[in-house]
Chain A
Amino acid sequence: MSRGFAPLSDTKAEPLVRFESVSRRFGGVAAVDRLSLDIYRNEFFALLGPSGCGKTTLLRLLAGFERPDEGRITLGGLDIAATPPHRRPVNMMFQSYALFPHLTVAGNIAFGLRQDGIAKAVIAARVDEMLALVKLEGFATRRPDQLSGGQRQRVALARSLAKRPQVLLLDEPMAALDRKLREQTQFELMDLQARLGLTFVIVTHDQGEAMTVAHRIAVMERGRIVQAATPAEIYEQPQSRWVAEFVGDVNLIEGVVLETGAGEAVIGDNGGRRYRVAADAATGAQVSIALRPEKIRIHAAPAPHDAPNAMRGRVCDIGYLGGISIYKVRLDDGVTLKAAVANVARNSGQTFGTQDEVWLSWPPDAAVVLTR
């Protein structure tokens, strides 16, 4: 499927969902704090953040289970603040699935349709269609407690899709699945979203999940969005130390900008080392260099003299993860950097052992300079 969806490049696109400076407080603590956000039609949008960051509250505001204390929420241009949950054209898949235990699978899927007074034959046809969509044909008469966790998850998905909502809200939909099933379900969700052409908003604390499924990710911290961008942008162009550390693994090197010019800055750290980074930065600014472990090269011999950002160190720890190995390298001044190396060949063993002397280097455009 195509992942080339880029609503932000289309400046004329009207957002489907718009949060305008929305706040929601619980006993004086702001779960959502003056937050603004646009979500576009056909977008698979992820809200990513640690627990307690307000991502679920944001979802519940959209579903109507919470009312904003301040600000406006619009859906298709209409303010939905006063619309109760049962009148909103959005449906939610609950983290606990919230399947009705007294109804069969078919009864659960038909529940929403029945509320709209749709003809019985139409409902039956739609239920069959939904069962086929989530590959649960033949399970129509089972009850939720006769299903496995993965099957229940599918019923919950089918139920929330049965009414063809304008926006489907997914609250940690895969939290209760084991890893294998979770990965499989992630791809199925992406496929489903593309096929149905619906807008999905998913809440997750799992960055891998958000990166996999979403077109765009909003990273949340303490009720605010710290960055909303495509997964690649979030990873390669984090806007703050917090985002860089929350999404993926990162080395953060503190320093001061010494020189600037020609799109490159020279940054000096406390140990007197100088780094060349491709970035625009103001001279004298206190900055962090964010450097992903896989972008650091590791050599057994001294790097050529003109290699940028070359450093000598000693391997102090190795984490073997199968596909890659993480080397923790202690530099001469005690700073530890993590470098990731893909284990390309089988049976070659570790390229380096602990206590080996190694040289690290990285090109100037491998790192990002962060001021926040």
Chain B
Amino acid sequence: MAKKSVGQDAEGAVSPRARLLVAVPYLWLLGFFLAPFLIVLKISLSETAIAQPPYVPVLDFAAGLRGVADFLAGLSFANYITIAGDDIYIFSYLKSLKVAAVSTAILLLCGVALAYAIARAPRRAQPLLVMLVVLPFWTSFLIRVYAWINILQRDGLLNQALIWLGLTDQPATWLATDTAVYIGLVYSYLPFMVLPLYASFEKLDESLLEAAADLGCPRWKAFFVVTLPLAWRGLGAGALLCFVPIVGEFVVPDLLGGSDAAMIGQTLWTEFFANKDWPVASAVAVVLVVLLTAPIAVYQHLQTREIEARQ
């Protein structure tokens, strides 16, 4: 059964007004994602140079068609070959994917617990609890990560607390380890996991849990066979909102992590600012975008399939 959507007339044609409305998000994407991405893509095909800007070729419109031909002839995939052939980049990518996967897994566990607790709290308390989750955003992200340096350093709050509790007599090394990076990432991204999950849990019809219990399903089991499957949209959204930016994360690993294995965001930063190699930095960024498109495409596919199944 074909349903007409908003803005369609009797013949199913889309009205100009509806067209304009649909165009807005596309124009937005064109202006703020596609155009910058194309610029980055173009730089990634260039060659580094001591010049202003620090790469060649530069499109010279004054030279007319000849200039365009020169420009196109100057482009090459050399930077991508460099990236593919150098362990540093491959390890950086793998490290980033690993850190993002582990962090997202920890975030899922913490986020599900926290969001579920908020959704089960008395209705009147819920806005306050959600507010508390969002409250850290009122302070600068950078300052909050610096605060973690204070907590995690050798004579920091964490070690003091551990010694005071008698759990250890020697201060442990936290700062400049992967553990510190995970702590920082989980702390920073928790709201992005909690909010979509809370929205999913909060919508859950209490009578479904009663129906499960009535049919012989204990409460704890109903969480896994009813609550979680019904919150899959929130789980997917939360996981994407955390996984994608964590892969490219720079601040947290740079401030809290060690210097041994850099994440791809740090490698990119080094190429761009330290080595002044814009073309390689751009190539790194382009590969990253391509890598991250995969999980988003999978999520989109699942969502589309579900919507189609409903019709």
Contacts and interface: CB of A to CB of B under 8 A. Distances in A.
A86 B310 contact: no
A54 B226 CA distance: 29
B229 A86 contact: no
Contacts of A91: 214-215
Interface string B40-58: 0000000000000000000
Contacts of B218: 84, 86
Contacts of A63: 210, 214
A246 interface: no
A96 B207 contact: yes
Given A86-B218, A116-B216, A146 B310 contact: yes
Interface string A139-158: 00001011000000000000
Contacts of A64: 213-214
Contacts of B310: 143, 145-146
B215 A94 contact: no
A98 interface: yes
Interface in A100-142: 100-102, 111-112, 115-116
A98 B309 contact: no
A143 B309 contact: yes
B9 interface: no
A297 to B, nearest CB: 50
Nearest to A110: B215
Given A96-B205, A100-B226, A146-B310, A84 B213 contact: yes
Contacts, number: 65
A94 B217 contact: no
A111 B212 contact: yes
A65 interface: yes
A244 interface: no
Contact of A85 (B205, B214, B309): B214
B230 interface: yes
Contacts of A112: 215-217
A309 to B, nearest CB: 52
A18 interface: no
Contacts of A159: 215
Interface string B193-233: 00000000000010110111111111101000010011010
A163 interface: yes
Interface residues of B, number: 20
Interface in A48-83: 63-65
Given A63-B214, A86-B213, A94 B207 contact: yes
A94 B216 contact: no
B112 to A, nearest CB: 17
B211 A94 contact: yes
Contacts of B219: 86
A102 B306 CA distance: 10
A300 to B, nearest CB: 57
B229 A102 contact: yes
Contacts of B230: 101-102
Given A143-B309, A145-B310, A146-B310, A100 B211 contact: yes
B215 A111 contact: yes
Contact of A98 (B207, B216, B229): B207
Contacts of B210: 63, 65, 85, 92, 94, 98
Contact of B215 (A65, A96, A101, A115): A115
10 contacts: A85-B213, A86-B214, A86-B219, A90-B214, A91-B215, A111-B217, A115-B215, A143-B310, A146-B310, A160-B214
Interface of A: 63-65, 84-87, 90-92, 94, 96, 98-102, 111-112, 115-116, 143, 145-146, 159-160, 163
Interface of B: 205, 207-208, 210-219, 221, 226, 229-230, 232, 309-310
In the A-B complex, the 6 residue pairs with the smallest Cβ-Cβ separation, listed nearest first, are: A112-B215, A115-B216, A98-B211, A98-B207, A85-B213, A102-B229
